[in-house]
Amino acid sequence: MARNSFAVSTVAVLAVVGVGSCFLTGLPQGSQPPRAAPNAVEHEMPQPSMAGNSWAAPLLSFGAALGLIFGVVAAKPARAITAEQFSQLTYAQVKGSGLANRCPTVESNGTEVPVKGGSRLVNVCFEPKSFAVEFETDKGKEFATTKLTTRQTYTLAFIEGSLDANPITFKEQDGMDFAATTVKLPDGEYVPFLFTVKELVAKGEGSSFKPGFTWGGEFSVPSYRTGGFLDPKGRGMTLGYDQAVALPAMQSDGQGGQDELFKETNKVFDLGKGVIEMEVNKVNQELGEIGGVFVSKQPSDTDMGAKAPRTVLLKGIFYGKVVNA
């Protein structure tokens, strides 16, 4: 039995070495390379030393070949793209490229984009670039940089609303204006929140967008979960059980911990408030496009009233297009 195992192992090793050696072996014995013409100038190229025919050489060459293949076919990260270029792409070209989670960039052209009465701001997009969460420390409250655990579905897009001048006032009305997002703190805690700009009313002094123009305002932050959500014990706001099992024994003492248990049982739909500040740094007067950066602050999920929310700080870029009536 031992001899058979040794024979099988020997055959397997020889097979692997044979596959790898196909990348290293030269011309068969007895064959000669083509000779140069008599008048041709010969150039001697240094040949790598294969002394000893190391057993690792075939395996390394095989790995190098695989690395070359993966280097050729590996997907490249999504690059900046304008709205005009994006509109010319097909679904197949966008799928899997990461472009669907990117905000368009603006090619600078002109000095300002005027806003007239009855105008609208369309195709507004917000793309966060960094996420920070507030937490308690010995020195007080500080913001910690987090790790994003949500896939590329956290960008807000196709938002639109009315736009008035003197002062410029944008009222958000429609679009993909919320995205469920989760980040991870350095200590391993996960913080879910609903990234949103619902019912945003942003104002700024002036009658036109130009580089350096600042504006901002407040928006509503709906609950991360809705009434149909059920917790691990089957409790919910509109569905599921009203109370968890063993509740009579839990309530018998009437002492500490009852408030926390009541919050776990009494599900509520919390509504929070957020604030955002934006600055325009690029405009395209011909196309009516504006682009810039934003800083947003909003509360995190409360687990339907069971825990206190954390403050989430987001920084990123935005895009929008002014359409005059």
Closest CA to 174 of 192, 191, 186, 156: 156
Task: With a cut of 50, list the residues of the chain below it in pLDDT.
Answer: 2-3, 6, 8, 11-17, 19-77
**How many whole angstroms separate alpha carbon 309 and alpha carbon 270?**
10
What pLDDT is attached to residue 250? 55
pLDDT for 142 equals 87
Q: Hey, is 262 helix, strand or coil?
A: helix
Q: Interhelix angle for 2-21 vs 56-73, to 10°? A: 50
302 in Cβ contact with 308 (< 8 Å):
yes
Report pLDDT for 248. Answer: 52
Nearby residues of 291 by Cβ (< 8 Å), 6 or more positions away: 103, 104, 105, 106, 280, 281, 282, 283, 317, 318, 319, 320
Assigned architecture for domain 109-222+264-321: Beta Barrel (2.40)
pLDDT score for 57: 41
Domain-wise residue ranges, the chain = 109-222+264-321
Q: What is the pLDDT of residue 156?
A: 95
